[in-house]
A = this chain, B = another copy of it.
Amino acid sequence: MFYDISLPLRNGTIIYPGNPDILVAPHHQLPKDSSNISRIDFGSHSGTHVDAPRHVDTGAMPVDQIPLETFVGPCRVLDMTHCADAVRIEDFEKYGGVKVGERILFKTKNSLRGFEKFYDDYVYLDGGAADYLAEKGVILVGIDALSIKQRGSKDFRPHASLLGKGIVIFEGLDLAKVPAGNYTFIGLPLKFVGLDGAPARAVLLS
């Protein structure tokens, strides 16, 4: 069974403040033209997307150089809907911790609230928990918010600690319909050469 965990993209899809707006418009249209073709303007961190190490370090790995194996394979969805404001180390310990090589997605209250509007007070990953995940050597981390970092915070560890170790971050996942558990993750970013990140269609198979 497939779960689509990607945000729909259209005019007006929520963006993280300061990112390019998402604009979709007809470019060729039937019957005036011989087919329908659309024009798309958006940002590399629109909707469901990958943060590559280059997002926070211009000399680091861009999205097209990340090994494809990272984006396809077993993953664990952890229920973090009890977290009031942030996902912390003790929340992982509650599930027996995490292991080297794991893909870990957090389902938080963000998924339950939905993605029609952007909320400043989304649930984020605590800096200490980012250090913990980086030290444990997971390979991919995903959250149901457009940023893994608290809005406005000067604690940059959620990006810096994970991306600094080459751990891929997925942001903008919609886990509302996904029960916690084990799945096969597929989430391949568009092949934008040299970029800081890229949109992706992400799914889970059970």
Residues of A within 8 A of B (CB): 2, 4, 6-10, 18-20, 24, 27-30, 34-45, 47-48, 54-58, 64, 68-69, 72, 156, 159, 186, 188-197, 199-201, 203, 205
Contact = CB atoms under 8 A, between A and B. Distances in A.
Contact of A193 (B8, B30, B45, B68): B8
Number of copies: 2
A9 B192 contact: yes
B47 A40 contact: no
B159 A35 contact: yes
Contact of A35 (B8, B191, B196): B196
B36 A55 contact: yes
B8 A191 contact: yes
A19 B9 contact: no
> Which of A6, A34, A44 is the most central at the interface, judged by chain B CB atoms within 10 Å of its CB?
A44
Contacts of A196: 35-38
A39 B24 contact: no
B37 A40 contact: no
**Max count, chain B CB within 10 A of own CB: residue among A18, A34, A36, A189:** A36
A128 B118 CA distance: 50
A36 B58 contact: yes
